Amino acid sequence: MTAQAVIVTQSVVDVLYFLIIFVPAMIGMGIYLGIRGIERSWRDRRAGVIEAWSELRLTKTELIEGYKKTALRHPLIGLSAKVEVIQPSANQPVAQGSAERVAGSDEARAHVRLTIEGPHTAIVRSETMYSDTEGKARDFAAHIDLAGRSGSLEAA
């Protein structure tokens, strides 16, 4: 067998290993994420969720933190929300273990911070800024503010 044939054979073996190991793993991950998304949408429907942002879910009468059965529930009455866009700055500390700020990393991007306050409630959530992050956060905050005045999105 020539050297060229050995290289081609090794390349074919490498491709087969890739197909045997990587492709099923990606298919499995896709199935897991799909089931997780379906499960969340079922929970949202069951709870009467109108809108969700960053693991916060809004129903007609309450704000729910997370998707677990033990998720905290806050009545909407008296809640208010504000949205801030936090721009990264040169003097912001770099994450531990990284040599420098990488241009495309989450750390180098702006963040949208949603702060919700009210009786016995103080919630702060932050998401990396993408094209629709700020708009969705502002919509979510507007619904909370509206419902916070009347205690329900139904009455608002």
Q: Which helix (H) or strand (E) holds 149?
A: helix 133-150
Range 99-103 average pLDDT: 46
Q: Mean of the per-residue pLDDT values for the chain?
A: 82
State the pLDDT confidence band at 89, using cuts at 50, 70 and 90. Answer: confident
Question: Considering only CA atoms, which of 153, 77, 57 is closest in space to residue 120?
Answer: 77
DSSP E strand stretches across the chain: 51-53, 56-58, 62-65, 72-75, 80-86, 111-118, 121-128
Q: How far apart are CA 150 and CA 125, in angstroms?
A: 24
Please check whether residue 143 is in contact with residue 51, taking contact to mean a CB–CB distance below 8 angstroms.
Answer: yes
pTM given for the model: 0.66
